[in-house]
Homo-oligomer: A and B are copies of this chain.
Amino acid sequence: MEFISGIRKKDCCELKDLLEKRSTEPVKLNGCIHSIRDMGEFAFVLVRKRDGLVQCVLEKANPNCTINNLKEGMAIELEGVLNQEERAPHGFEIRIDRVKVLSAPKEGAIFPLPISKWKMNASLEAKLEYRPISLRNIRERAVFKIQEGIVRAFREFLYSQGFTEIRTPKIVAGNAEGGANVFKLEYFGKKAFLAQSPQFYKQTMVGIYDRVFETGPVFRAEKHNTCRHLNEYTSLDFEMGYIDGFEDVMAMETEMLRFMFDFLREKYSKELNLLDVKLPVIEGIPQVRFDEAKQLVAEKYNYKIRDPYDLQPEEEQLIGRYFKEEYDSDFVFVTHYPSKKRPFYTMDDPQDGRFTLSFDLLFKGMEITTGGQRIHDYDMQLAKMLARGMNPEDFGNFLMIHKHGMPPHGGLGIGLERFTMKLLDAANVREATMFPRDVTRLEP
């Protein structure tokens, strides 16, 4: 009987192993041929590995390998000798001795985009059309490495604060956020929906673990086709019990963001440098009431308020600009949104029921978080549903938690792709989405 006992040591070096080698040491490595540059007597063969490029040099006189047998896109394994070379990436290059081709692209295939260039200079449309290939570009792939770091930091921080990670269903019977923006599907003869948010479930799980979070997909059937909307995106959600007020939720987010930027600085500096990303420094995040914020920017920028109950995207931009100019802050919490613009589970302000104990976080003038305190009392939740003409019987499973006791609680959801977009100063949320889904795009 044969047994699998664990990972076997391979003789191919990873980039970190190569960095520890001395000059003239023989090495073996594998990777993808990212580009070939013919220099006459020799050729530069750039090998793409998961953590960077390795410059290799193939002499034309090499008896074991001719340049004509190599092609961009091939996966190869090569043997050679490492040499210090200041001008090469990471300060070394490899003089090729032998090359073994592991796999080759289709005969005659031509890359649809110049992925080996530093900047591809391709339209967003072209990059998305050829996403499986365009992401092979070093800078394109760095975007999603940073996105990995954002999610990791979110989780790491919340674990450290006693949160439990949950997994809630995406096929649901009800519609948490209200409105018509919901994808419908047939579920064994029943009508079902794709979850617009894990709202009901995360509140439910506060009754079990006090503090919970989830990082998963959410689905919005919105017909907006803008630079900041997606129909499927990743929501970073947390929800916490035993709060003294919704300020506790904002405080948790502030601390999380500070942790996240430290985490990225420590573990993702290579990618941040590749994309020239400047991480914000968070001292304290200003908080301003919704109605005050509207007033402030109307006065300072001579903006005419059209809808007193909602923030236009231009108003969000102006609020962002105001707090950057006046307080040098990339972030601002806008609080006390009007009750009629917030969902039925939001707690109204006991001081003034027209407003709610809720907030948005704006980052460089764009909403990236919505959060607030939720109603925990059964009678209060029932009354708010009835006042909105909702049928409580449709929400029996949700009301079950209030019926049997819930601590005061609140939470938030962060749009991962939008957050990444603003962090990277991208112009379109699709730049920060691996495989975007929008009104016209279902592939790749």
How far is B9's CA from A9's CA once the two chains are assembled, in angstroms?
A: 48
Interface positions, chain A 341-387, Cβ under 8 Å from B, are: 376-379
Bound Cα distance from A232 to B247, whole angstroms: 36
Cβ–Cβ < 8 Å partners of A65 in chain B: none
Interface: A194 (CB within 8 A):
yes
Closest B residue to A76 using CB positions? B407
- Beta-carbon contacts of A219-254 to B below 8 Å, as 1s and 0s? 101010000000110100000011010011011101
Q: How far is the CA of A141 from the CA of B10 in the complex (A)?
A: 42
Neighbouring B residues of A102 by C-beta, 8 Å: 242, 407-408
Q: Determine the residue in chain B with the shortest Cβ distance to A288.
A: B1
Tell me the bound Cα distance from A217 to B106 in angstroms. Answer: 33
Q: Please measure, in the bound complex, the distance between the C-alpha atom of A327 and the C-alpha atom of B131, giving whole angstroms.
A: 47
> Which of A72, A208, A434 has the most chain B CB atoms inside 10 A of its CB?
A208
Cβ of A164 and Cβ of B50 under 8 Å apart? yes
Q: Give the nearest-CB partner of A2 in chain B.
A: B287
B105 touches A405 (CB 8 A): yes
Count the copies: 2
**A418-444: contact bitstring with B at CB < 8 Å (1 yes, 0 no)?**
000000000000000011010110111
Q: Is A336 in contact with chain B by the CB < 8 A criterion?
A: no
Of B136, B187, B255, B288, which one neighbours A207 at CB under 8 angstroms? Answer: B136
Tell me which residues across on chain B come within 8 A of A164, comparing CB atoms.
50, 144-145, 148
Q: Which residues of B contact A132 (CB under 8 A)?
A: 204, 207, 397, 400-401
A266 within 8 A of B: no
Contact A168 B286, beta carbon cutoff 8 Å: no
A91 at interface (Cβ–Cβ under 8 A)? no
Q: Is A283 an interface residue (CB 8 A)?
A: yes
Residue of B nearest to A250 (CB): B4
Given known pairs A51-B162, A144-B166, A408-B102, the reply for A6 and B152 (CB within 8 Å) is no
Given contacts A111-B404, A216-B217, whether A170 and B170 have CB atoms under 8 Å apart is yes
Complex interface: chain B residues within 8 A of A190 (CB) = 442
Question: Which of A53-61, A178-186, A302-310, A313-321 lies at the interface with chain B?
Answer: A178-186
For residue A263, CB closer than 8 A to chain B, the reply is no
A35 at the interface (CB under 8 A from B): no
Residues of B within 8 A of A247 (CB): 4
Of all chain B residues, the one with the shortest Cβ separation from A164 is B148
Measured between alpha carbons, how far is A207 from B166 in the docked complex, in Å?
A: 31
- Name the one of B105, B130, B161, B232 contacting A169, with C-beta atoms under 8 angstroms: B232
Asked whether, in the complex, the Cβ of B130 is within 8 Å of the Cβ of A400, the reply is: yes
Contacts of A397 in B (CB 8 A): 132, 443-444
Residues of B within 8 A of A401 (CB): 132-133
Docked-complex contact B442 and A171, CB < 8 angstroms: yes
Residue of B nearest to A209 (CB): B50
Residues of B within 8 A of A209 (CB): 50, 141, 145
- Considering the chains assembled together, what is the distance between the CA atoms of A255 and B90 in angstroms? 31
7 closest A-B pairs by beta carbon, nearest first, are A73-B405, A3-B284, A397-B444, A75-B407, A105-B405, A5-B284, A50-B210
21 contacts between A and B (CB under 8 A): A1-B287, A3-B283, A7-B252, A10-B244, A102-B408, A105-B403, A106-B402, A106-B403, A106-B404, A132-B207, A132-B397, A133-B400, A151-B167, A152-B159, A168-B434, A170-B232, A171-B231, A188-B439, A188-B440, A192-B442, A397-B443
